[in-house]
Structure 1
Amino acid sequence: MWPSRSRTETVICTACGDQFTRSMAREYDKYGDRWDRKDKTFEYLCKPCHSDLCHHPRTDLEAILVEIGAGDTDEETFLSAYLETVEKRYGRLEEES
């Protein structure tokens, strides 16, 4: 039997933790490939949190985070390792004026 269309699916925003109806959320795929849906589980962001995201390409971001052990160190150690890794791969970061 098919699920009822009148049932409202709710999801939790991974950024703020609030619960929203699925229609008020945006799918988030940490690998950046939300179009390939085979064997995939999505996370969700509410529309305000999704709007706050940087929507530039994030090539290699997940690989860098895994490589430097994101989540396993304190913030200062993480930021230092991240900056060092990014500068080695892409050159020194410069602020725009």
Structure 2
Amino acid sequence: MTGVEPDGFEGRAADPADTGYAQTDEQAAAFRSPRRATLLGYADATNGLAESYLTTAPGTDLGRVVTSPTSGDTHAVQERLAGHLHDSLAHLGQIGLLLGPFAGPAA
């Protein structure tokens, strides 16, 4: 999509029905997070793709309507990017909350 080199996260086996929403209590309790390096690598990769897109996309592209491959809903590209930014900031806040008490004094 953006012409960037593969980063190792593309093509990973996934359940297309697993959108990351509406898990049952049992599914949430059974979840085991990937290792820290994997999560940080994924965050870097997704943010890198967004940055690459933003630096190369034509100005008219923000209004283009796209359909989500996971949820099937349609929104303008600018709404998808705003959602990505919102999710990224929310998750950074969650990580900070979790690490705060355990991070120790600032170096």
TM-score, normalization by structure 2:
0.24
TM-score, normalization by structure 1:
0.26
Larger Rg, first or second structure (1 or 2)? 1
Q: Higher strand fraction: Structure 1 or Structure 2?
A: 1
